[in-house]
A = this chain, B = another copy of it.
Amino acid sequence: MTAPTRRQLANAIRFLAIDAVQAANSGHPGMPMGMADIAEVLWNDYHRHSPSNPHWANRDRFMLSNGHGSMLQYALLHLSGYDLPIEELKKFRQLHSKTAGHPERNETPGVETTTGPLGQGLANAVGFALAEKLLAQKFNRPGFDLIDHRTWVFLGDGCMMEGISHEAASLAGTWKLDKLVAFYDDNGISIDGEVHDWFTDDTPARFEAYGWQVIRKVDGHDPVEIKKAIDTALKSDKPTLICCKTVIGFGSPNKQGKEESHGAALGKDEVELTRKNLHWDFAPFEIPQDYYAAWNKVEQGKKLEAEWNALFEKYAAQFPSEAQELDRRLQGELPKDFIAKADEYITKVALDGATIASRKASQNAIEAFAPLLPEVIGGSADLAPSNLTMWKASKSVTEADVNANYVHYGVREFGMSAIANGLALHGGFLPFDATFLVFSDYARNAVRMSALIPAHVIHVYTHDSIGLGEDGPTHQPVEHIASLRLIPNHDVWRPGDAVETAVAWKQAILRKDGPSSLILSRQNLPHQPRDEGQVLDIARGGYVLKDSVGTPEVIFISTGSELALAVKAAEAFGDKARVVSMPSTDVFERQDAAYKERVLPKAVRKRVAIEAASRDFWFKYVGLDGAVIGMDTFGASAPADKLYAYFGITADKAIEAAKAL
C-alpha cells in the first residue's frame, strides 16, 4: 500500500467539510475545499504545535480570519490529533457540540480565537504576532529562544475588502512583524458572485505599500509552489502575504469556482459527484488509518514540547526570576501583592479627595498600577494626550524597538481593539486601549468580540458626554453608555470621582473572564466623601452614597459626572432622600438579591435617575413611576456648562422631577 499523496491528504479535509456541512445541511464547504491543499502543506510541513497540549506556550498560532470555513479548522484539529473526535464533527453546528458554526476559542481545543466577523481574525493575528515579538524581546536570552513561534492566518476576499484589513496590515508592516504569515484565499468569489464588479484592488501592491513581503501569485493547489512560498516567508524580515489563487469548492464538478459552493451544503447528488471526481471512495466521516497516521502530530508535538520544556528548565536555572516572571505572565496570574497595593492606593486616593477629571484620575491609577504589572500594554487610537493613557514608564512600540509597553495605534479604533484582543489571547499581556467614547462605535464589533471570546481587555473611553463641550454632537456620546452596557459579559464602569475611578481600574484588572470598559469624563468631578464601608462597596457596582434617615422618600440614582448633581438634588430633600451611586450596573446586577434590595428597596418607587445620556436605559431602575433626567436628542457645540443648562441636566431639574412624582 502506498502512502496517501498530498492531494489525498488534502481531500480528507475536503470530505470532512463536505460531509459535515451536508449532515448539518448548513455551513460553508467552498472555502475548506479551496484552501485544503494550502492547509495540508502548512500543517504537515511547517506548523509547530502540540495537539495533546493546545496550551503549550511556544506553539505556533493558527487562525482563520475567514471563519465561515470553520470545517477546515475542525478537520485539521481532528486529523492532527487534538481532542476533537469524529463524533464532534458529525455534530457540526449542533447545540453543545464542540464544532460551532464559526470557530470559537472557548468551545474547541486548538482554536486560538473566535472568528467569523470578517477581517478581525487578521487583526487578532497582528496582536498575537506583536505579543510574540514583545515577549521574545523581553525574555529571550542568548542561546535561549524561549519565545520563538509563528502566527499563521488564513483570510479571504471578505477580509481583504473590510476596512480593518487596512488598519491591521498597516500596523503589522510598520512594526515589521516578520513572524506573521497570511495566506490570502484569492478565489475571486464572494457571496454576491464574481468579485470583479466590486473588488478590483491590486491587493499585492496594497500590501507592499504597507511594507509587507508579498508573494504575488501562488497556485493554491500546488504543494510545491505553496512550500516555496512559505520558505520565502520564513526568511523575511517583514510580515508576508502569500496570495494563493484557488478554486472555491475545488473538486465539485458543478459548483467549483462558483458562489453556489460558498455558503450552503453541496447537496446529496453533488456530494456523490465530488466523491467520484476526487476518487474519494470512503464513506462520510470515514478516514482510513494510513491517512490518520500521515496527519497525526501528537508525537511530534510532544517532542517539540519536551525540547522546549528542557530549554525552559535550563533557562530557569540560569535566569530564575525571569523564568518565574514569564511563567506568571503566561499563566495570567497577577503578582501576589497586587491587591494589597491596589487597596493601599485606593485608600490614598480616598484620603486625598482630589477634584479632577475621571480621565485624569484614570491616568493616576495607571501610574499607580502599571508599574506593578509589567504585563500591562497600553495604547490609544491617536488620542494619548486627550485620553491620558501614557504614564511615566510607558515606552512606545516602534519599528526599531518593540520592547515596550505602549502602542500608538494611530487613528485606527477597530484595528486597535481587535489587536488588543489578540494581545490578550496570546497570553503574557493585559492590554488596554483607548479612544473617545463616541468612537467606540468604530470599534464596536471588536468590543463585542472581547466579550464573546472572551478576552481580558480594558477599554478606556474618555470624553463621555456633552461635558466634552465645544467639539459638538459628532463627538458627544448620547447612546453609547447604555449601548455598551447591553453587550453581554461586558462590565461597563462610569466612575463618579477619583476614588470610584481607582476602584474601577482595580476591578477591571481583576476581571479575567472578560472585558471592562471605563467611561471617563473630560471635565473635573468633585470628590465624594465616603466611609470605609462605602469605599469597599464601590466594587459592588452600586451602593448608597448618601442615605436618608429611615426609609427614603425618594432615591436619586446616578453615575459619573452627574453623581454630584444627584448629591446636590438630594440636599433639597434633607434627610428624606437617598443617593445611590451606580458606577457599574453590570456588576451591581451580579450582587445577591438582599444587597440589591438594601440599596434599591422595591417598595420605594419615587426614583430619579440622572445621567447625561440616553434616558431609556434607566427605566430598568426607576420603572414606570420614576423619572429620568437624561437626553433623547443629540448634543450641540458649546462650552460644557452651557450645554448642561440647555439640555436640562441639572440638580434643579432633578429636584423638580422628584417633587412631581
Where the two chains meet, the residues of A that have a C-beta atom closer than 8 Å to any C-beta of B are: 24, 26-27, 67, 93-97, 100-102, 104, 114-118, 157-159, 161-167, 170-171, 173-174, 190-192, 195, 197-203, 205-206, 208-211, 259, 263, 380, 382-386, 396, 398-399, 408-412, 414-415, 438-439, 441-442, 444-445, 448-449, 451-452, 469-475, 478-479, 482-483, 485-489, 602, 605, 614, 616-617, 619-620, 623-625, 631-634, 636-639, 642-643, 646
How many Å lie between the Cα of A643 and that of B646 in the bound state? 47
Contact A441 B439 (CB under 8 A): no
How many Å lie between the Cα of A444 and that of B489 in the bound state? 20
How many Å lie between the Cα of A114 and that of B472 in the bound state? 11
Which residue of A101, A195, A399 has the most chain B CB atoms within 10 A of its CB atom? A101
By beta carbon, the residue of chain B nearest A616 is B620
Contact B474 A452 (CB under 8 A): yes
Contact B625 A190 (CB under 8 A): no
Identify which of B479, B623, B634 contacts A624 (C-beta below 8 A): B623
How many Å lie between the Cα of A409 and that of B162 in the bound state? 11
Contact A474 B383 (CB under 8 A): no
CB distance from A280 to the nearest CB of B (A): 25
How many Å lie between the Cα of A116 and that of B409 in the bound state? 19
Contact A382 B102 (CB under 8 A): no
Residues of B within 8 A of A624 (CB): 602, 605, 623-625
Residues of B within 8 A of A415 (CB): 163
Identify which of B117, B202, B472 contacts A100 (C-beta below 8 A): B472
Contact B174 A167 (CB under 8 A): no
Contact A382 B198 (CB under 8 A): yes
How many Å lie between the Cα of A532 and that of B398 in the bound state? 67
Residues of B within 8 A of A259 (CB): 385
Residues of B within 8 A of A396 (CB): 197
How many Å lie between the Cα of A643 and that of B95 in the bound state? 8
Identify which of B157, B442, B488 contacts A445 (C-beta below 8 A): B442
How many Å lie between the Cα of A261 and that of B489 in the bound state? 41
Residues of B within 8 A of A479 (CB): 448, 483, 486-488
Assuming A93-B470, A191-B382, is B475 touching A486 (CB within 8 A)?
Answer: no
Contact B385 A472 (CB under 8 A): no
Assuming A117-B474, A380-B192, is B157 touching A162 (CB within 8 A)?
Answer: no
Residues of B within 8 A of A170 (CB): 161, 199-201
A–B pairs, 24, beta carbons within 8 Å:
A24-B470, A100-B473, A100-B637, A101-B474, A102-B474, A102-B475, A117-B442, A117-B474, A157-B411, A158-B411, A190-B382, A191-B383, A191-B384, A191-B385, A197-B396, A197-B399, A200-B210, A201-B211, A206-B210, A259-B385, A449-B474, A482-B483, A488-B633, A619-B620
Assuming A382-B192, A638-B94, is B471 touching A478 (CB within 8 A)?
Answer: no
Which residue of A384, A449, A624 has the most chain B CB atoms within 10 A of its CB atom? A624
Oligomer copy total: 2
Contact B158 A472 (CB under 8 A): no
How many Å lie between the Cα of A628 and that of B189 in the bound state? 43
**4 closest pairs, A vs B, by CB?**
A163-B163, A116-B474, A623-B624, A166-B166
Residues of B within 8 A of A452 (CB): 473-474, 634
Contact B471 A116 (CB under 8 A): yes
CB distance from A305 to the nearest CB of B (A): 31
Contact B637 A409 (CB under 8 A): no
Contact A638 B95 (CB under 8 A): yes
Residues of B within 8 A of A486 (CB): 478-479, 482-483, 614, 616-617
How many Å lie between the Cα of A201 and that of B175 in the bound state? 12
Contact A489 B633 (CB under 8 A): yes
Contact A158 B382 (CB under 8 A): yes
How many Å lie between the Cα of A632 and that of B95 in the bound state? 18
How many Å lie between the Cα of A210 and that of B201 in the bound state? 5
CB distance from A161 to the nearest CB of B (A): 4
Residues of B within 8 A of A162 (CB): 163, 167, 411-412, 442
By beta carbon, the residue of chain B nearest A449 is B474
Contact B636 A95 (CB under 8 A): yes
CB distance from A594 to the nearest CB of B (A): 17
Residues of B within 8 A of A383 (CB): 191-192
How many Å lie between the Cα of A616 and that of B27 in the bound state? 32
Contact A116 B620 (CB under 8 A): no
CB distance from A441 to the nearest CB of B (A): 4
By beta carbon, the residue of chain B nearest A624 is B623
Contact B409 A198 (CB under 8 A): yes
By beta carbon, the residue of chain B nearest A28 is B471
